[in-house]
Structure 1
Amino acid sequence: MEAFAVPDVPEIEAGDDLADIVEERVDLRPDDVVVVASTVVSKAEGRTADLSEFPAGPRAREIASRLESATGDEKDPRFAQAVVEEGTELLMDAPFLLTETRFGHVTVNAGIDRSNVPGKELLLLPRRPGDSAERIHAGLAAAPPVVVADTCGRPFRHGQRGVAIGWAGMPASRDWRGETDREGHELEVTVQSVVDELAATANLIAGEGDGGTPIVVIRDWSFGDHEGSDELFREVEGDFVRQALREWHYDE
Structure 2
Amino acid sequence: MEAFAVPGLPEFEAGDDIAHEIEAASDLRDGDVVCVASTVVSKVEGRTADLADYPAGPRAREIAARLEELTGDERDPRFAQAVLEESTDLVMDEPFLLTETRFGHVGVNAGIDRSNTGGAELLLLPRRPSESAERIRDGLDADVSVVVTDTSGRSFRHGQTGVAIGWAGIPASRDWRGETDRDGHELEVTVESVVDELAATANLVSGEGDDGTPAVVVRDWAFGDHEGSENLYRDVEGDFVRQALRGWRYDGD
* 1:16-48 CA distance string (max 9 Å, x none): 111101000111111100000000000010000
Give runs of aligned pairs for residues 35-184 of structure 1, distance below 5 A: 35-184=35-184
Q: SS at the partner of 1:52?
A: helix
Q: SS at the partner of 1:24?
A: helix
Shift of 1:172: 0.6
Instruction: Provide the C-alpha distance between the structure 1 equivalents of 2:179 and 2:102, rounded to a whole number of angstroms.
Output: 34
Q: SS at the partner of 2:29?
A: coil
Shift of 1:118: 2.3
2:146, 2:169 within 8 Å by CA — same for their partners in 1?
yes
* 1:193-213 CA distance string (max 9 Å, x none): 000000000000011000100
Gaps of 5+ in 1: none
1:199 is matched by which residue type in structure 2?
A
Shift of 1:150: 0.3
Task: Spell out structure 1 runs of 4+ moving beyond 3 A.
Answer: none
* 1:224-251 CA distance string (max 9 Å, x none): 1111111100000100001111111111
1:67 is matched by which residue type in structure 2?
L
1:220 is matched by which residue type in structure 2?
D
Tell me if 1:189 matches 2:181. Answer: no
Q: SS at the partner of 2:250?
A: coil
Tell me if 1:243 matches 2:240. Answer: no
2:43, 2:118 within 8 Å by CA — same for their partners in 1?
no
Q: What's 2:214 paired with?
A: 214
* 1:116-135 CA distance string (max 9 Å, x none): 11221000000000100111
Instruction: Provide the C-alpha distance between the structure 2 equivalents of 1:142 and 1:119, rounded to a whole number of angstroms.
Output: 33
1:236 is matched by which residue type in structure 2?
V
Q: What's 1:12 paired with?
A: 12
Instruction: Provide the C-alpha distance between the structure 2 equivalents of 1:185 and 1:49, rounded to a whole number of angstroms.
Output: 53
Instruction: Provide the C-alpha distance between the structure 2 equivalents of 1:34 and 1:119, rounded to a whole number of angstroms.
Output: 26
Q: SS at the partner of 2:66?
A: helix
Gaps of 5+ in 2: none
Q: What's 1:199 paired with?
A: 199
TM-score for the superposition, normalised by structure 2: 0.98
Instruction: Provide the C-alpha distance between the structure 1 equivalents of 2:184 and 2:138, rounded to a whole number of angstroms.
Output: 41
The two structures, once aligned, show a CA RMSD in angstroms of 0.7
Q: What's 2:28 paired with?
A: 28
Instruction: Provide the C-alpha distance between the structure 2 equivalents of 1:101 and 1:12, rounded to a whole number of angstroms.
Output: 24
